[in-house]
Amino acid sequence: MKIRYILVDDDLKTIQFVKTKIDRIAADYELEHIASYTSSKKAYEEVKPDSFDVLLVDFQMPVYNGIQLAEKIAASKKIIFLTSTTGKQAEIINNLEITGYLSKPFELEEFEKILQKKVIGKINTSSFLQNDTYLSIPIGTNKDIGISPEQVFYISKARNRNSEQPKKNCVHIYGKNDVIIHKDVRLTIAKFSELLAPYKFEKISQNTIINMSHIKERDNRNIELYHTQETFEVTEKEKSSFIQKLASFFSPKNH
């Protein structure tokens, strides 16, 4: 099982140093770097609770210090503090269930010990169920798949930028960073569009539906989603309906 981690430190050099060291053991421990932030405020605004498993965070930062940020975005996650002082240990331990803390400069061996003793096998993989809807979708007569709509960014039967394409009459379900959550699901785009319409999904072509909650920008018929590299185009057939629903979705009454 992959261990997804986020780095937050107001010093870019520290982030680069830590990530470079972690990269050395990433394959051994199935570590996946999700994002790095030099701004605690930006991390608070952009990080979604179900996008990561471990938060590595600087203890002293402007806007939100490490404790404040961890309380806001990582209350149910594994938290490892990066700190150049040990004077605040009691405060750290008393405020949150801390997985560990590492002194600067970052020592890879100490990080490995924390992974082995307190992270591997102890990640709460079902934590997203506490804050998100979970759907069981029947695929044929003898098979179901489970999805969390919030974690799904788009569903498509088209070839992606990596030249991957679902099997005939199947779709891929994609999450953040274009990761395939479910591969070769034998269900039509039209059926998914019907099932997921209550969760703000909208069909933009015969090949693709997108999660409107993740829309970053629309330019005429071109759509960008947060945290994806794929580009999307609304077909002429779907344009009118899509724009109407987009306007309704982003109207003040929906926020």
CA gap 42, 63 in Å, rounded: 10
**Token output for 152:** 């799904």
Burial class (CB in 10 A: 0-12, 13-18, 19+), 56: buried
| Average confidence (pLDDT) over 73-80 | 86
CATH superfamily entry for domain 132-254: LytTr DNA-binding domain (2.40.50.1020)
In eight-state DSSP terms, residue 177 is G
| Average confidence (pLDDT) over 70-87 | 81
The per-residue b/e assignment along 220-230, b for 16 or more CB within 10 angstroms, e otherwise, is ebebebebbeb
| Average confidence (pLDDT) over 56-60 | 91
Q: Which residues contact 132 (CB under 8 A, 6 or more apart)?
A: 50, 148, 149, 150, 151
User: Domains of the chain: which residue ranges?
Assistant: 3-127, 132-254
List pLDDT tens digits, range 205-234: 999 999 988 888 878 788 899 889 898 999
| Residue range 3-127, CATH number | 3.40.50.2300
CA gap 123, 80 in Å, rounded: 13
89 confidence band (pLDDT: 50, 70, 90): low
pTM strictly above 0.85: no
pLDDT of residue 177: 87
| Average confidence (pLDDT) over 30-41 | 95
List pLDDT tens digits, range 101-141: 888 888 899 999 999 888 887 775 444 333 456 788 888 76
Per the prediction, the chain carries an average pLDDT of 84
**Token output for 35:** 């994002």
Q: Look at residue 144 and give its three-state secondary structure.
A: strand
Residue whose entry in the numeric block shows the structure tokens 């979708």 = 137
| Average confidence (pLDDT) over 82-110 | 71
CA gap 98, 83 in Å, rounded: 13
CA gap 80, 54 in Å, rounded: 7
